[in-house]
Amino acid sequence: MHIQIERFDDELEDLIKKVYNNPFRSFVKMNGVTMSETHKKFSDAIENFQVRDDDVWVCSIPKSGTTWTQEMVWCIANDLDYERGKISLTDRFPYFDLSARSEWPAILKANPGIQIRREMVDSVNYVADLPSPRFIKTHLPFKFLPRQLRTGEKKPKIIYIARNAKDTCISRYHYCRITENLQGSFEDWCNLFLQGGVMYGPYWKHVLGYWEQRIEDNVLFLKYEDMKQDLPSVIKKTATFLGKNLTTDQLSSLTEHLSFESMKLNPAANNEDLIHLMKEITPSKFEGKFMRSGKINQWKSEMTPDMIERFDQWTRENLKGTGLSF
């Protein structure tokens, strides 16, 4: 895929600089998508990555329920092997484009005593060397995926998890406030989100890029809200997609394992080590956890009526005629 770098307009550029206070983060507009400048170093390796038909990919925009979906998918595919599931989810289900997010060599130079996971420096080749079956997480838009995935040359399982835009915006704000020491107001962040100035944005282009692929038999499109409202049904749907049959007892067991309360207390899945690492790199005055509340409709109490209307109008404009709703 040819990479074309474009300029942000001056207003958006100024807003990005106002909100972010991270010396290891530099954004560019790449093929219409806000990406880390570091992505350019890995674009060829990502484009030419050798996909395997028995891979399982979980794709999303950040803070859409990715970790929850990863744990569900891994448990189903591995016959509810909770003992092996005590291994960190980041080992069982690595983040494909992790090294393309930040300038890790510069981070290490500035923080010589810091301990990072080895795949952070080159996650693409790290994933390439894993034995099959590989479970792979990515936040890349569909058009940034490896060529063999985009063209259908390889047909691994792809599960996309989407979440209401307002709740995604709020959840991501609280997470980035802790890990990136965000400046400015919540309203500034919302404006950045609406304008596609948050990494992997614009939001709706990301979601619709995968929504358009749902007709493919190797693609499953899930919604966070459905998981919250009827988790057993989503588990069964995902199991069928993965070619697995669960007994009534297994379904009950996995539903309990995937409850927000259980996930928040599960050290293999709650990503607290990541929070500590990011706070070492970019100290922040804000405190919080990776799994904060897991609730739906947070926007009702956290957004102003004016901001809610702006998000709703933006959503209506982008979803008109697509068949997708939240």
Residue 215 phi, psi dihedral angles, 5° rounding: -75, -15
How many CB atoms neighbour CB 274 within 10 A?
14
CA dihedral 91, 95, 97, 103 (to 10 degrees): -70
Task: Please state, in angstroms and rounded to a whole number, the distance separating the CA atoms of residues 174 and 312.
Answer: 21
CA 64 to chain centre: 6
> Which pair of tokens denotes residue 165?
């835009």
Asked if 216 contacts 57 with a C-beta cutoff of 8 angstroms, the reply is no
Contacts of 67 (CB under 8 A, 6+ apart): 89, 263, 269, 271, 290, 291
**Residues with a known catalytic role:** 139
Length of the chain: 326
Task: Please state, in angstroms and rounded to a whole number, the distance separating the CA atoms of residues 86 and 99.
Answer: 25
